[in-house]
Every structure is written in C-alpha cells, then in structure tokens.
Structure 1
Amino acid sequence: MSEISSEDPFESPEAADLARARGGDGAAFTRLVAPLRRELHAHCYRMLGSVHDADDALQEALLRAWRGFERFQGRGSLRSWLYTVATRTCLDAAQARGRRAMPVDLGPSSDRAVLDAAPLGEVAWLGPYPDAELPTGGGPAARYEQREAVELAFVAALQHLPGNQRAALLLFDVLGFSAAEIAGIMDTSTTSVNSALARARRVLAEKVPARSQQQTLRKIGDARMREVVAAYSSALERGDAEALVALLTADVTWSMPPLASWYRGLAAVMDFAVEVPLTRCPSWRTRAVAVNGQAAVACWVGAGPEELHTGFSVTVLTLREDRICEIVSFLGAEQFERFGLPTSVK
C-alpha cells in the first residue's frame, strides 16, 4: 500500500517551504530566501558602503536567520523578518568597523598633481557597486528606484550618519517600512525612529545633490549619456587634454580611492590629468560599465599600444546636465573580478 502524504494539496508552495524550513529543511529555507537575496544584499551595501562587507553581512544575517528560524512565527512577512535580521547584523558590523570614507572626507583638495602618492591602507574606503547585482524584478519604476538608492553621493552621505539614523532612513525612505515597523526592527520606539529620520534627512539635505543621477540621465537620455562616456574614453585613450576639458564642468572634482589626494576645479583636475593619466600612463584600454546606477568606465593601462594592459580602475562619472562634474576612480585590479571584467586585456 502506498504511503498517504500528510501535506495539504491546497497549501501554497511558500507555506509548505515555511513548514519544512521550521522542521530543519535547509533547501526549503534557501528557496524562501532566494527571491530576496539581491535586495537584501543591496540593503547591506547601502548600510556598510562596501560590496565585500555586504557579502559578509548578508552571509552572517542568513546564518543567523537559519539558526533562529523557529522564532519566525509568520505573524509578519518573511521579508520584514529577514530585513530585521539583516539590519541588526549591519548595525553590529558598522559599530565594529566604522564608516566608509571618500578622499573628500579626509582633507582639502590639492591644487597641483600629487605624484607618487601612496595608498592609505588604514582607511576603510567606500567601494563601488555593480548594477548587475541589483534586484531585477518589479518593473521599470522599481529598477529606477533601486539604481537611485545606490548612487555614490547617496551612499557616501549615508556614511556620515550614525548607524541607527542610517538604518531608519533606508528602511523608511528606500524600502517603504512604516515607523512602527522600523521600531520593531530596531527594537526601539516609534518616537525614536521619527527623531532619527528627521536628523538623518537634515544631514542628507546638505550632502546629496537636489537632482539625482537617475533624474539627470533620464533628462539627457541614454544616447547622450553613451556619447559622454565614449568621449571620455576616447580622450583618455588618445591622451587628448583639450577633448577631456570640453567634457567637464568648471567645478569638477576627481578622486582616486585609496589615494587621499583629490582635485577640484578645471585647473587642478587638468594639472593632475596631464601629469598622470595622460602622460605617465602610455596606453589605455576602456570599456563602458554599469556601476552605482551611474555612467562608468573600466580602465586598463599598458606600457604601449601593443603591450598587455592590466586593470587600473573602475571609474564612476557623475553628470550635471550633459557634462561631467565628478570623477571617482576606484583603483585596483581587485575591482575587476566582481564586475565580471578581465584583469588584463591586449
């Protein structure tokens, strides 16, 4: 006689997996979490400012969630419960590691090119985030919001907030949780959440441009954005300073973490560009990439046009209208693997 299944034939697959996961079925837990992994990872990146820290935090959060899954009673959504675990994990990590910095946070800009500067290894630097790892569902509006929420200016500004303010603002303004839900997630009061939100918004109002990159890119259109990226790449590869100047705003900045030196204004930026990338780097190869929801270029440097070119930087461009107002070159070949890029090209 065949064994009669005890499972309810009308039970949803998710409900069945919830029951299995509570019973210790790891595969069922993995299936439940899979649709939420990307958005949880992006949340960890916004909280911590580093894709590698986000990897570690998400892994730790899911381990905590699995070990304590019997405590999830299903009174709220699984998504809310996982965000609770992930947010608390990130708060622990932020307290232990401190905030991520950009060169502009460390001191004034340089008027002239700083040659042979050594990387500051003791600084925890803000890092880039691959658009390819952002959530893909929810339609164009949701994807627009996801890209806007990882723009460099926004993530850099978040690093100036204490952990509780950072978490409250992200959970409310980016993820749409209510103040009462956030109070539960952070084990505090609704009054404290509202106070943290107000303080966080005041800081961000001072540090984040009024117009996001998504708004700028929508206004100028994809075709014009591609033209700007191609013109930047071409000017770099040809060593054409005049062509590069034509793409920049008068108040342009250029920074290169993990180097502390950074430059503001056309004169300083061009002095650096002529002295270093256009003179000291004999040959360039470039490729347009998608980073932090912004226009970006991967750059390889070689000793000559026929020589092997090695990974140099992932450079994120911030546009104002259709000119470049900020260049951030994240130096190091270690960036390339995460972006699915070769570490060397011919």
Structure 2
Amino acid sequence: MESARRNEAELLARARGGDAAAFDLLVAEYRSELTAHCYRMLGSPQDAEDAVQESLLSAWKGLAGFEGRSSLRTWLYRISTNACLRMSARRPRRLLSPDQGPARRDTADLGEPVTGPVWLEPWPDDVPADEPDPAASYLRREGVELAFVAALQHLPGTQRAVLILREVLEFSAAEVAHQLDTTPASVNSALQRARKAVEQRVPPVSQRAELAALGAEGRRELVDAFVSAWERADVDGIVAMLADDARFTMPPLPAWFDGRADVARFLTERVFATAWRLKPMWANGQPALACYQQSPDDGRFLLGAINVLSLRDGRITELTGFLDPEVHRRFGLPRELREENAGQFSPER
C-alpha cells in the first residue's frame, strides 16, 4: 500500500510538470470504475465513455488545482459525476420498453423502431473470470443490473448521483456533499427520496442474490436448458421456464409482450419463423445470449439480438432483447456465428 502511494505521488508530480504519459498511468487504474459509474448515471456505455473522456480531459487541464485534500479517486469521481449531470441535462432519459408505452397483444404489428438516444443499453460484462483484483471486479459489476440502472434513470440527476455515490460506491455523506457542492443534510435528504423511488421500481431480491441462490450448477443448467429449447423452437419448453408475469421486450422496437400467454404467442407467431443459434454470455452481471438468426438468403447465422435474462426464484421474469446493431458492436461479438466461436457458458461471475 505504501509503495502504491509513493508511486502515485511520483506520477502526480510528473503529471503536474506536464508529463501526459505519467497522467495516463496515474488515472489508468480508475478508468474502468469511472466508466461503470458513468454508465449507472447515463444508462449507455457509449455515453459513459464520452463522459469519462470529458472528465479525464478536465482532470488533465485542472491538475494544478488538485490540492490533495481528498484522494485522487474522490477528485476524479467529483469531476466525472458533474460531467454526467451536465450530459444528462442535455439528453433524454434512457428507458426500457415498459416505460415508453403499454404492452401489445398483436404480434403482427411491432411498430417502427424508435431511434435516437432514448433506450437503456446493456453493459458489456467483460471482466475476466480470473480478475486478479476482486475489489476491482466488484466495483465494475456492482450496481449495473438492468432493473437498477433503469430505475436510476427515473430519478432527478442529483438524486441519481447521491444514491450511486452513497449506496454503490459508499462515499460518506460529507464526501458526496463536497463532490456535489452541497451540504451533508441535503445529501441525506436526497438519499432518502432516491431510495424510496428506486425501491418501487426494482425487485426486492437483486439478480446477484438470485444467481447466488441458483449456484453455479443451477445457472449452467438454466442457460443450457434455455439454449436447447430456443434452438429447437420448443415454445412449450421455453414457457415452462418463465414466470407467470414474464415480459419480452425488444428495443428499439416499441412493442413488448406481458405475461406467459402473450410471450408464448409472440414466440410462436414471430420469433421462430426462422431458425436460431445462441451463444451464452454475460451482460449487466446477468446471464445473456447473443442470438444469431438464420438468413433466408444463404443460410448463415447472423447476429440479430442480445437477450439479457432476469430471474426470480429460478424462473425467467424478463427477456430483454436488444436489437440495435450499434449495441452489438460494443460487445465485440462476431457478426456471424461459426462453429469455432460458438463458445460455452461460464456460470462463474
């Protein structure tokens, strides 16, 4: 620890002297967690990257004003939080399908895609299974579950920042007050309001807890069973895995389906008109699937969706299908599924 502090102090001194390479090294260890923080604030990995870029540029330009009264990490969070607040004030909130309009019954009309920065986007869960620093892994994943990030988007910007900084990142009320140029009393008041609002929108049990209850073997069995049923177009098999109140959403299309019966009808009438192959993966700390649809022209299996699974008591409560090719590209997935890149599901995260 003492060696790390000395190294940081040395890099800080060099950076203040105009050494850009030293600055890059100085902030490198914080970049991933800052990006996760900005994703929670903004609901989009691309917006998060933009906010981090803006924040680090501001930090570089303002390094002479960093007096060391707080840690470098706290100072960087202050800059990035305020960058997110400015950005969120200029852009529409990122929402999920049920926030945009009512569920549909007619499977023939899925509506025209709603374009623009309006949809909550999934978070690429790219932390290696052998992540050497468990704390870093935790910081990157904690608080990125879809339902939680979606609920955050309904909060005013300051309440959103307070909840994340206090509850997820565990800064003190005094630290958060300093970051937001307010008082600890105001922070505590905003936190109470934010907690109440979020609790109304998120399940009582987190996905982390649901997955832990299933255990590694249970997670593998569930995903394997789902993949097998989907690739066989076995609607009954899929429906047996769904909760009664399961939802199927597919942004940027406005249509979504609510309840096992309507989801089953949608699967039967629309989804399995063509064949699919699935590649298990992770997103937002949840099991997910890269879904490859067979082209009627040449029989190739091309990436059509990323489906993120939400669970309750071992059943699937939501299939959130992201159809936007721009979202797919951010996950680094191959456009075409071949035998060599099919991969296997790892239940450990």
TM-score, reference length from structure 1: 0.92
Structure 1 residue ranges without an equivalent (≥5): 1-8
C-alpha distance in 1 between matches for 2:22 and 2:191: 36
Q: Deviations over 1:210-235 (max 9, x none)?
A: 10011010011122112211222222
Match of 1:6 in 2: none
C-alpha distance in 2 between matches for 1:65 and 1:219: 42
SS at match of 2:70: coil
Q: Deviations over 1:166-220 (max 9, x none)?
A: 0000000000111111111001111211111011001011011110011010011
Distance 1:67 1:30, change over 3 A: same
Q: Deviations over 1:240-297 (max 9, x none)?
A: 1111111111110110011111111111111111111112xx1211100110000110
C-alpha distance in 2 between matches for 1:153 and 1:101: 10
Letter in 2 for 1:342: P
Match of 2:294 in 1: 302
SS at match of 2:147: helix
Deviates more, 1:163-172 or 1:143-152: 143-152
- Which one has the largest radius of gyration? 1
Letter in 2 for 1:239: A
Is the 1:283–1:305 Cα contact (8 Å) retained in structure 2? no
C-alpha distance in 2 between matches for 1:146 and 1:67: 26
Say which of 266, 272, 281 aligns to 1:278: 272
Deviation, 1:133, is 5.3
Say which of 253, 258, 270 aligns to 1:259: 253
Matched, 1:69 2:63: yes
C-alpha distance in 2 between matches for 1:194 and 1:134: 36
Letter in 2 for 1:27: A
Match of 2:72 in 1: 78
Match of 1:108 in 2: 102
Deviation, 1:98, is 2.5
Q: Which 4+ runs in 1 deviate beyond 3 A?
A: 133-138, 141-146
Aligned residue runs from structure 1 range 232-243, under 5 A: 232-243=226-237
C-alpha distance in 2 between matches for 1:127 and 1:272: 23
TM-score, reference length from structure 2: 0.91
C-alpha distance in 1 between matches for 2:34 and 2:253: 30
Is the 1:100–1:124 Cα contact (8 Å) retained in structure 2? yes
Is the 2:210–2:313 Cα contact (8 Å) retained in structure 1? yes
Structure 2 residue ranges without an equivalent (≥5): 339-349
C-alpha distance in 2 between matches for 1:222 and 1:154: 23
Say which of 233, 238, 248 aligns to 1:244: 238
Match of 1:343 in 2: 335
Matched, 1:311 2:311: no
SS at match of 1:344: coil
Matched, 1:228 2:222: yes
Say which of 196, 203, 224 aligns to 1:202: 196
Is the 1:39–1:134 Cα contact (8 Å) retained in structure 2? no
C-alpha distance in 1 between matches for 2:139 and 2:31: 17
Deviates more, 1:128-137 or 1:320-329: 128-137
Is the 1:303–1:309 Cα contact (8 Å) retained in structure 2? yes
Aligned residue runs from structure 1 range 1-346, under 5 A: 12-122=6-116, 124-132=118-126, 136=131, 138-139=133-134, 143-144=137-138, 146-279=140-273, 282-303=274-295, 307-346=299-338
- Percent identity of equivalent pairs: 47
SS at match of 2:122: coil
Letter in 2 for 1:203: A
Aligned length: 334
Is the 1:147–1:293 Cα contact (8 Å) retained in structure 2? yes
C-alpha distance in 2 between matches for 1:310 and 1:126: 23
Deviation, 1:115, is 3.1
Letter in 1 for 2:310: T
SS at match of 1:316: strand
Deviation, 1:30, is 0.6
SS at match of 1:132: coil
C-alpha distance in 2 between matches for 1:289 and 1:316: 9
Letter in 1 for 2:171: F
Distance 1:290 1:120, change over 3 A: same
Is the 1:257–1:330 Cα contact (8 Å) retained in structure 2? yes
C-alpha distance in 2 between matches for 1:303 and 1:96: 40
Is the 2:142–2:168 Cα contact (8 Å) retained in structure 1? no
